[in-house]
Amino acid sequence: MPWFYHVGKVIVGAFFRLFTRWRVEGGENVPPRGAVLVVANHLNFNDPPLLGVSLGRRVIFMAKEEIFRFRPLAYFLSRLGSFPVHRGRLDRKAIRQSEKVLAEGGALVMFPEATRSRNGQLQPAFPGSALFASRHGVPILPVGIAGTEKLKKSTWIFRRPRITVNIGKLFYLPSSGGKLSKDKLVEHTELIMRRIAELLPPEYRGVYGEGGKK
């Protein structure tokens, strides 16, 4: 683990403590070791570093390929173990890297919505996280993030917005009993998003709240 990971973690933690009212709930649910797939809603580009200091263990992110086009940032992220994924198509290299993280007992973070929500509410999720968890039988750790959508423009620093990272309990997807059908994949994706929605205030739940998609 590179030395700047530890230094960066201290700096990021100090940043959130100083400029926000940051609170972590359910920290006892994070397994201290062993393979785990972390799934969370996505509101702001600050969500990855926020999760990095909230979960209490090293986590590796599958990040959209566009971020890695900026070479200095790409170098920094890759040195921390994060890697790009091409959205909208089968990215075999990203799949192999994800499998390697879990095979080595790491914590892999995925945002099932695959992009930031523009209105702060949960959006229809892509099936990638459900497919991955089903295929590898790994435990899933759901996380609900609230408040980071307020970190816009420079004036937010003076308001010290309240940010909550609510960590749920580990769960496994039901066994599919063989090949995963399209209907079962949709069902598993829905289950993952419902677990995230349960950790969020009602106004954040979007299509996975009461009266949303079934």
**Sequence-distant (≥ 6) Cβ neighbours of residue 162 within 8 angstroms:** 20, 21, 23, 147
Tens digit of each residue's pLDDT (9 = 90 or more) over 22-74? 999 999 999 999 999 999 999 998 898 899 899 999 998 887 777 677 676 66
Radius of gyration of the chain (CA): 17
Tens digit of each residue's pLDDT (9 = 90 or more) over 148-159? 999 988 889 889
Looking at every residue in the chain, the average pLDDT score rounds to 87
DSSP result, 132-172 = HHHHHT--EEEEEEESGGG--SGGGGGT--EEEEEE---B-
Percent with pLDDT over 90 in the chain: 53
Between CA 136 and CA 100 the distance in angstroms is 11
Q: What is the distance, to the nearest Å, from the Cα of residue 79 to the centroid of all Cα atoms in its chain?
A: 19
Which pLDDT score is estimated for 136? 85
* Statement: the pTM of the whole predicted model exceeds 0.85: yes
Tens digit of each residue's pLDDT (9 = 90 or more) over 166-185? 999 999 998 776 677 889 99
Between CA 98 and CA 85 the distance in angstroms is 10
Tens digit of each residue's pLDDT (9 = 90 or more) over 69-115? 767 666 766 666 677 777 666 667 878 888 889 999 999 999 999 88
DSSP 8-state class, residue 56: S
Structure tokens at 140: 């899933």
Assigned fold of 3-208: Glycerol-3-phosphate (1)-acyltransferase (3.40.1130)
